[in-house]
């Protein structure tokens, strides 16, 4: 387990990346989200590994990204906030009713994070769709619930972030790092 690695998870459009950017401005190390980068790259090259294309291949690319992020973050000093983690891939596959391959389940169990995981809940007031975020509010809410269930099932303590200003959210996380 890497006690200095803290995951922020939840549904799309719940303020995860904005929170992580605010924490980075306060000197906290961070690792970016896999999904958006993979989508941008796959769209740019006409690739099939997209959440609206080959979802299983998309999950495999997320696995590679998250493993690399975990290894890089392990070597960093001080707390590191991860924009999602390996269990998010398990949750994603369950959410879309695809089987979870044994190697993805094994990765989520083997490469651990701090027991405390922060969940950005669905928050209608800040939710917005964009080029990479095509899910609607209902899907976003279901995603947050699935991530909470997945992390809890893997032995993590899931703490819901308050629906408040970004600075207050950052204060909330800082008190718990």
Residue pLDDT, tens place only, 102-122: 999 999 999 999 999 999 988
Q: How many helices (H) and strands (E) does the chain have?
A: 7, 5
Taking 80 as the threshold, does the pLDDT of residue 133 lie above it? no
Give me the percent of the chain exceeding a pLDDT of 90.
77
pLDDT computed for residue 150 by the predictor: 98
Q: In total, how many domains does the chain have?
A: 1
Beta-bridge partners for 160: 119
| Alpha-carbon span 15 to 17, nearest angstrom | 6
139 closest CA partner among 50, 10, 44, 36: 10
Residue numbers of the domain that contains 91: 5-174
Residue pLDDT, tens place only, 53-74: 999 999 999 999 999 999 999 9
pLDDT computed for residue 123 by the predictor: 75
Q: What is the CATH number of the domain that holds 92?
A: 3.40.50.300
pTM tops 0.85: yes
Taking 80 as the threshold, does the pLDDT of residue 43 lie above it? yes
């Amino acid at each position: 387990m890497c006690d200095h690695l803290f995951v922020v998870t939840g549904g799309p459009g719940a303020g995860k990346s904005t929170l992580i950017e605010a924490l980075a401005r306060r000197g906290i190390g961070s690792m970016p989200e896999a999904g958006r980068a993979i989508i941008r790259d796959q769209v740019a090259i006409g690739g099939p590994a997209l959440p609206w294309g080959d979802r299983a291949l998309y999950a495999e690319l997320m696995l590679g990204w998250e493993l690399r992020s975990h290894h890089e973050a392990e070597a960093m000093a001080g707390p590191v906030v991860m924009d999602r983690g390996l269990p998010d891939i398990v949750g994603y596959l369950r959410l879309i009713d695809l089987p979870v391959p044994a190697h993805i389940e094994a990765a989520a169990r083997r490469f651990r994070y701090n027991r405390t995981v922060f969940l950005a809940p669905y928050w209608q007031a800040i939710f917005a769709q964009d080029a990479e975020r095509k899910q609607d509010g209902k899907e976003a809410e279901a995603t947050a619930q699935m991530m909470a269930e997945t992390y809890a099932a893997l032995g993590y303590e899931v703490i819901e972030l308050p629906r408040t200003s970004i600075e207050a959210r950052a204060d909330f996380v800082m008190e718990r790092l």
